[in-house]
Structure 1
């Protein structure tokens, strides 16, 4: 299914994969691939591919969505050597690649891209049994982009961090899976703070670890007076 948002066409394709197309036809993909969400999907129309961290890096999926002239922007910590899957190193992809840290800015085509830190708070609730964060600081980043005169925020795999609360956001891609990231209650609180024009929850129910009640999230957010919509990746 494609969601229309102020001239943007937005599709959640499953897991963390979101496709956004501007009114001028510029196509951005966030974190394409993994867990079969792009099986039989070969658009190869992506002008800009944004990768937050190792867990969301899927080189085969990038080649399924990227145009031959695409630019791949990946967090500097994404490393094939640290991934227990068969992936092509970022620098060996057949595209122009740009590495970013978690406090960067760049412009690609018509899109302005800002990165922000994304991690689990060591004193927060989303920790392994031994007390270590699932996503320690330095593992990945969040992306805040401007496209088609609208701003889109994808926090990646993160808790709700103080820096997020001060962003100007038109479309909030809310990570609601819980367990290893912010849960639906925390994401709803963040949505209320951000007061975006639209909230689209993603990164849930793909695997058992991320099971949550998306309908309850919608009711919660809508009760706060914030527009929210569900997308069904099975209907893309």
Structure 2
């Protein structure tokens, strides 16, 4: 299913993958791939969970492809979605040689690669790309058995995007990455908010609903849930919670 919002189309591709297309034809992908979501191999750990079906997906139409951190770096998926002249935006801590999966080095990919930190603000074509710190709080609930954050500060980012919308009006989209709900998030001007709601390694559905209320976007489209057992959550309960807070919400499962 494709979600339409202020002239923009948005599609959850499974796991953390998100496809955005503006009315002028600009296509942006955020964190595409992994777990067979774009190769047709993904299967849910539990039957009946809400999640996009796996498919052999290779449009090669992306003008921009954005990667938040090592866990979402999938070089095969990037090749599947990126156009020949695509620009790849990658957080500067992404380091393929230390990723324990079969991935290509960034230099082996045939695209322009731009590395960003937590505070970059770039104009790439018709899209403004802002990187935003994304991490788990060291004293928060999303830590491993040793008490260490799954995503410590400096491991990844989120992206705040400004794209052309209907009637030349801008549309802002925010994907926090694998992050807790952080105080700075509420200061962002966001039209389409795409939070992770699976919990375990990121904000859970209750925390994401609270953040949505504080942020007050025009629409909420959750992603990054139900891909495997640790991310399973009640998306219907999330949607009801957000709607009760007076914020429009939609599911793309």
**1:44 has 2:60 as partner:** yes
Does 1:215 pair with 2:236? yes
How far is the alpha carbon of 1:90 from its aligned partner?
A: 1.6
Alignment of 1:103 onto 2:119: yes
**1:136 maps to what in 2?**
152
**Structure 2: distance between partners of 1:194 and 1:85:** 36
- CA drift of 1:174 comes to 1.2
1:199, distance to aligned residue in structure 2 (A): 0.1
Secondary structure of the structure 2 residue equivalent to 1:219: helix
Equivalent residue, structure 2, for 1:114: 130
Distance in 1 of aligned mates of 2:71 and 2:63: 22
Please report how far the alpha carbon of residue 55 of structure 1 lies from its aligned counterpart in structure 2 after TM superposition. Answer: 0.2
- Aligned mates of 2:36, 2:82 — CA distance in 1: 17
Q: Using the TM superposition, give the Cα deviation of residue 209 of structure 1 relative to its aligned residue in structure 2, in angstroms.
A: 1.1
CA distance in 1, matches of 2:106, 2:251: 32
Partner of 2:102: 86
Tell me the SS of whatever aligns to 1:175: coil
Instruction: Determine the structure 1 residue equivalent to 2:248.
Output: 227
Aligned position for 2:172 = 151
Q: Offset at 1:203?
A: 0.1
Matched residue, 1:160:
181
SS state of the match for residue 222, structure 2? Answer: strand
Aligned twin of 1:178: 199
1:28 aligns with 2:28: yes
SS at match of 1:81: helix
- TM-score (structure 1 length as normaliser): 0.97
The size of the alignment, in residue pairs, is: 232
Deviations 1:146-165 (A, max 9, x none): 00110000000000111111
Deviation at residue 89 of structure 1 after TM alignment: 1.3
CA distance in 2, matches of 1:164, 1:49: 22
- Unpaired stretches in structure 1, ≥5 consecutive residues: none
Confirm or deny that 1:169 pairs with 2:190: yes
- CA offset digits 1:175-233 (Å, max 9, x no partner): 1010110000000000001100000010000011101000000000000110000002x
Unaligned 5+ segments in structure 2 are: 40-55, 165-169
Q: Counterparts of 2:247 and 2:98 in 1: how far apart (Å)? A: 39
The answer for the alignment partner of 1:61 in structure 2 is: 77
* CA-CA distance at 1:81 after TM superposition: 1.6
CA drift of 1:92 comes to 2.1
Distance, in Å, in 2 between the alignment partners of 1:82 and 1:162 is: 31
Q: Show the counterpart of 1:14.
A: 14
Any idea what the Cα deviations from partners look like across 1:21-62, whole Å, max 9, x if unmatched?
000000000001001111110110000000000000000000
Shift of 1:91: 2.5
Secondary structure of the residue aligned to 1:185 is helix
